[in-house]
Structure 1
Amino acid sequence: MTDFGLKLRMAVVGSILFGFYLVAATVISAMWGVSLIPVLVGGMLVLPPIQYKIGKWSALRGAQDMPEEGQYREIHRMTESLARDMGVTKPRLMVMQMGVPNAFAVGRKGAGVVCVSTELMAMLERDELEGVIAHEIAHIKNRDVITMVIGQSIGSIVGMVAYMVYMFADERNPGSIFVGMFVSSLAQLLVTVFVLAISRYREYVADDDARQAIGSGEPLARALEKISRGAQGRESAVDDSVNALCILNADRGLLATLFATHPPTEKRIEKLRG
């Protein structure tokens, strides 16, 4: 069963994000002179699914299906066993060169995808890789990937509306386009703060689910140590939006640290071993 704390956070943050979306839909309705209901319902039925599809496609660009024979046969068997024990359909397995040892999950129950990097498979022992795959399956089981995508979609909508409002109010100012872009970014940042309330906690939950699935937190703890060391001095080849879904966010810039999508690796390892 999904962690109650994660369920509660997703419910609270989801309500707040819907509030942001309701305000944005109201503004669009007023500016275009149309009824609020079609804007509200149409936006929720069209934009998030489109962004979900595009986000999934973008994340998996450059990835290839993992063959079920040869050197990958054992990984498929391991994943099938984990998925069965965790109560989800076996996810599609893909492999990708990411520049760093890493893995991520996209999709939902019944249509999930776990993508692992070639660098990761070359580095980890079998039980460590099992811990990583269990962690990614947990994200699919907990549906937190979909929540993250919807949150990002609402952030984009709020940012777009903020830009339109400012440009409409100050259309005669030649420099208004730059200020409008700043206002848009600020609005998206406000939404992102609430999305982060889920993002960091969901990693702890997925770690704990993986620990329960394989019977020990030690293999995943060792894997996180190796992944962290292996990422040092290397540049990740995946987009920033995908980094947020990875088991380890390889971006170590100042803003990435300030608005970290993941808790500190040291704390995750400590919890797994505690």
Structure 2
Amino acid sequence: MTNTIKTWLLMGVLTVLLVLLGRVIGGTTGAFTFFLIALAMNFISYYFSDTLVIKMTGSYPVSEAEAPELYSIVRNLSLKAGIPMPKIYITPSPQPNAFATGRNPEHAAVAVTEGLLNLLNRQEIEGVLAHEIAHIKNRDILIGTIAAAMAGAISMLADVFRWGLFFGGGRDDDNNPGGLIADLILLILAPIAALLVQLAISRSREYLADETGAKLAGSPVGLAEALKKLHAYSLRIPMEVSPAASHMFIINPLNGRALMALFSTHPPIEDRIERLYAMRW
């Protein structure tokens, strides 16, 4: 199963959860209404994602005169990907890492940390940047925003249902206690399931960006070797970054904190490296 197919199957699961929970509370119209509310809430962060994430991470623009090799790599990868060249930023952190952002290829930016430039060789930097260009090419910001909107709508629906039950509302199930129990189970499990599916979509897009990036770079070796170094240093060098922006990076910048793999936005590094080496041609 390709990562693209997996992404849309997971989107389908979110849709089913949203419709089921919506029908319990307000029918199909109720589900659609809450989806629109969640979409509106996420639209602002999506539309201004390039500006917001750059500010959140303290990244600063760099000129071609200041970083000619960086510009050369990004320009070459952008041409291969068939997208406009994104803006280039440097993040003032000793932890080696990188991210891409922007609502579409025409409004995109890539950023690398000072630590990454100091640690990696050219082939590894190219592998990392190819991964970030792949995110832009694959429109992962848009896909992530839609997934977040659907998961958010499910959570809001569950909140409405919970408050309705608290104040004596909800469905009229006095003669059908089994229906009330089913509603309560759905109320508890749907938001958790939605979150897990949203995170699974994020991990799927990371795998896809690794695959696409390896093809853009012409070899998976640079990215695989870079991931080894980035992971090792992320465990030793902390990064002061908001958890809200952590999912944007090529590896979780908060890796040093104990997180269950199930609740991680990133796939296990070992799996990503193994998959990349399996691609060698």
Q: Normalized against structure 2, the TM-score is what?
A: 0.78
In structure 2, the gaps of 5 or more residues are 169-185
Residue of structure 2 in register with 1:189 after alignment:
192
1:14, distance to aligned residue in structure 2 (A): 2.1
- Partner SS for 1:95: strand
Other-structure match for 1:142: 138
Offset of 1:158 from its aligned partner? 1.7
Provide the C-alpha distance between the structure 1 equivalents of 2:25 and 2:48, rounded to a whole number of angstroms.
24
> Cα gap change, 1:80/1:36 in structure 2, threshold over 3 Å: closer, same or farther?
same
Task: Identify which range, 126-135 or 146-155, moves more after superposition.
Answer: 146-155
Q: Does 1:273 align with 2:268?
A: no
Q: CA deviation at 1:170?
A: 0.9
Indicate which of 244, 248, 251 corresponds to 1:248. Answer: 251
Give distance in 1, aligned partners of 2:51 and 2:21: 27
Q: 1:180 aligns to what?
A: none
How far 1:69 moved relative to its partner? 3.2
Match of 1:50 in 2: 44
Given residue 78 of structure 1, which amino acid in structure 2 is its aligned partner? Answer: I
Counterpart Cα distance in 2 of 1:40 and 1:273: 43
Please give the per-residue CA displacement for 1:122-163, whole angstroms capped at 9, x wherever unaligned. 211122111101001111111223212221222222212212
Equivalent AA in structure 1 for residue 58 of structure 2: A
Question: What is the SS of the residue equivalent to 1:244?
Answer: helix
- Segments of 4+ moved more than 6 angstroms: none
How many angstroms does 1:42 deviate by? 4.4
One-letter code aligned to 1:222: E
The Cα offsets for residues 73-120 of structure 1, whole Å up to 9 and x where unpaired, read as 221121111011111121222222345211111222222221211221
CA, structure 1 residues 201+38, in 2 after alignment: closer, same or farther (shift >3 Å)? closer
Superposed CA RMSD in Å reads 3.0
Q: Distance in 2 between matches of 1:136 and 1:185?
A: 36
Contact 1:211 1:272 in 2 (8 A): yes
Question: Percent identity among equivalent residues?
Answer: 29
Which residue in 2 is equivalent to 1:165? 161
Indicate which of 264, 268, 272 corresponds to 1:264.
Answer: 268
Stretches of structure 1 that go unaligned for 5 or more consecutive residues are 173-182
Deviations 1:170-196 (A, max 9, x none): 148xxxxxxxxxx98864331121123
Say which is worse superposed, 239-248 or 35-44, in terms of deviation. 35-44
- The alpha-carbon deviation at position 244 of structure 1 amounts to 1.9
With normalisation by structure 1, the TM-score equals: 0.80
Count residues in correspondence.
Answer: 258
Residues 131, 210 of structure 1: 8 Å contact kept: yes
Asked if the contact 1:67/1:73 (under 8 Å) is kept, the reply is no
User: Following TM superposition, by how much is the alpha carbon of 1:41 offset from its aligned partner in structure 2, in angstroms?
Assistant: 7.7
SS in 2 for 1:93: strand
> Aligned with 2:67: secondary structure?
helix
Output aligned runs, 1:110-121, within 5 Å: 110-121=106-117
Partner of 1:178: none
- For the pair 1:74 / 2:69, whether they are aligned, the reply is yes
